[in-house]
Amino acid sequence: MIDKKFKIANKIFKSRLIVGTGKYKSFSECAKAIKTSGADIVTVAVRRVNISNKNKARLMDYIDPKKITYLPNTAGCFTAEDAIRTLRLAREIGGWKLVKLEVLGDKKNLFPEMIETLRSTELLTKEGFKVMVYCNDDPLMAKRLENAGAVAIMPLAAPIGSGLGIQNKVNIRIIRKQTKLPLIIDAGIGQASDATIAMELGCDGVLINTAIAKARNPFQMAEAMKLAVISGRKSFLSGRISPNLFGEASTTNKGII
């Protein structure tokens, strides 16, 4: 298989790793981790990260939006109205139209509220936003989001920040087979092997925040995730051998004395 370029809404990115900007001890630590990760895209929680108050430290003082694509998200929103209002604000502040939609259902599990998510996707698309959508791993709902105009499908691997890794490989495979949109695992990645597995399933990218930001050594973990995504992609493109319940000798029996 020949690798296709990582393209979202007609924009090409070099890295398939997307990194969040929350939970770091400081903006400087965040900036160093992102540089180490090699990520081209960073998610920004518009409601939680300072991007507008020039009298206080701002994220863009440390991460240049001219060099790295900012992806405003709606973290902390629980209704379509809140999410839409937040992204309109992001558009006013920075002119951003490529956005990540996240409408949560409850404060404990942080699962996506899919009815509100679908409604938000439809409304935002009509307003000209390019919507990358955080969603559950339901193939039917993923198809509805695609039909509603989403530019990327972003199913969770496990609850946000849980670090449990991919819990439902079957559904991820089904979503992969049915969509031509970029498929990006969002939420639940805990270690480098989780990122590799996501890429081996055929995902186009992985979004990681907590696993890097809260690691004992975030810079080393950022590099590990970078390499894991690259490794997983190469493994997927190489074509794995067929699983077999029985052993098979590595050398032929022909010519043996």
Residues belonging to the active site:
100
DSSP state of 153: E
3-state secondary structure 163-231: CCCCCCHHHHHHHHHHCCCCEEEECCCCCHHHHHHHHHCCCCEEEECHHHHCCCCHHHHHHHHHHHHHH
How would you label 225-236 residue by residue, b for 16+ Cβ within 10 Å and e otherwise? bbbbbbbbbeeb
CB 122 within 8 A of CB 148: yes
CB 114 within 8 A of CB 135: yes
CB 181 within 8 A of CB 216: no
The Cα-based distances of 136 to 49, 69, 144, 175 in angstroms read: 25, 25, 12, 11
Rounded Cα–Cα distance for residues 75 and 65 (Å): 20
Rounded Cα–Cα distance for residues 126 and 225 (Å): 35
> What residues contact 25, with CB distance under 8 A and at least 6 apart?
none
Q: What number of residues does the chain have?
A: 257
Task: Check the CA dihedral 154-9-52-14 and report its sign.
Answer: positive
